[in-house]
Amino acid sequence: MAQQQGMAALAAEKGVLFGSTLTRGQADESAEMRRLARQEMGAIVPGFEFKWPTLRPGPWEFDFSGAEAMLRLAEEQGQKTRGHALVWHGALPGWFGDGPADAMGMRTLLRHHIDTVARRYAGRIHSWDVVNEPVEPWDGRQDGLRDSPFLRSMGTDYIDLSFRWAAEADPQARLVLNEYGVEMATAEQEARRTALLRLVEGMLRRRVPLHAIGIQAHLAAARQHEFEAEVLRRFIRRIAALGLDCYITELDVTDRGLPPDIATRDAAVAHTYRVFLDAALAEPSVKAVILWGISDRYTWMNDSRFARREDGLPTRPHPFDADFRPKPAWDAIREAFRAASAR
Ligand code: 9MR
């Protein structure tokens, strides 16, 4: 049988960069993961290796071994690397605590980190998630920004400054603001979209170097009824009208809330991928689609109290099963790329 075209190849035919997150541990442990990475990814997003806990074992130390290993792997295979993430409240090393309380201390720490890391890999990173998840309307601020340690010490300036420092350190990388919970047609997610758009408009007015918005897209098949293609498309168009691309940065689909029957779950998950991608790819400013996992063998969802199944069964959120066999989601994603128009 002739080899079927993989997801990345079909995406590339339409001018879309396609890939997945992958960790060094997965690549070292599993030949099957290495095979899937080769066959199915045009871009790799190291899952841990560019995050603070891996890069910064101590306040004055850097450990680049994981980042180097992942970059080498991608480069040997002719794949792009997305850097994730320079500034994120969600993964900080223990020594960080709440970070320096004073603005100058935090500023020095952030600038040193961004400068060291982004400069070291300048020219080798397709795009950086410079600031990850800066919006949280439920933190009660007027501007809808997250009450993170960075904001508490530096004020809202930390976002603009992080992008400016990243642009200086790596003028070639596309600089991305990455956010979750902006895909669905719920009032809650509408509030997140509004806060995000307001932030982005302000940044562009202040001439901050920002090139794309990352839409994470952690989806749930059981909440498919809350999705409206037109709501997502309008949001993407508003971003495009500001001159920015959109990247789908962490796409996956939990089967939480679906019955245990595997065929039922797999069909619903595949359908959710297809409907979402049809909507996103209908917008020509969507230039990249990245999955947050490729095989059910390695998924963050079983460890997440929001995404794991309430009946305790392992989740089946990715296009390959735990034995690396393709699932209906694999066909659904490939079909979505086949149906998309070229950009
Ligand atoms: O999937 C990632 C998980 O394995 C890590 O333990 C966690 C902390 O580093 O990060 C998870 O990935 C998150 C990503 O970095 C940002 N958006 C939400 C993702 C899922 O929690």
Kindly report, residue by residue over 65-81, the tens digit of the pLDDT: 999 999 999 999 999 99
| CB of 300 sitting under 6 A from ligand 1 | yes
| CB of 91 sitting under 6 A from ligand 1 | yes
| Percent of the residues in the chain that have a pLDDT greater than 70, as a whole number | 99
Question: 84 CA to middle of ligand 1, Å?
Answer: 10
Contact predicate 310/256, CB 8 Å: yes
Question: 48 CA to middle of ligand 1, Å?
Answer: 8
Contact predicate 116/50, CB 8 Å: no
Ligand 1, residue 53: give the atom nearest the CA.
Answer: 9
Question: 300 CA to middle of ligand 1, Å?
Answer: 7
Instruction: Outline where 148-186 has alpha helix (H).
Output: 149-154, 157-169
What one-character DSSP code corresponds to residue 303? G
* pLDDT value at residue 1: 45
Which residue out of 216, 247, 292, 302 has the highest number of ligand 1 atoms within 8 Å of its CB and is therefore the one to mutate?
A: 292
Ligand 1, residue 216: give the atom nearest the CA.
Answer: 17
* pLDDT value at residue 2: 54
| CB of 315 sitting under 6 A from ligand 1 | no
Q: Report the C-alpha gap between 80 and 17 in whole angstroms.
A: 9
Question: 343 CA to middle of ligand 1, Å?
Answer: 30
pLDDT in tens, 114-163: 999 999 999 999 999 999 999 999 999 999 999 999 999 999 999 999 99
* pLDDT value at residue 60: 87
Which regions in the chain score pLDDT beneath 50? Answer: 1
Q: How many helical (H) and strand (E) elements, i.e. helices and strands, does the chain have?
A: 12, 9
Q: Which of these, 46, 41, 54, lies nearest to 6 by C-alpha position? A: 41
* pLDDT value at residue 3: 72
* pLDDT value at residue 318: 98
Q: Report the C-alpha gap between 43 and 21 in whole angstroms.
A: 8
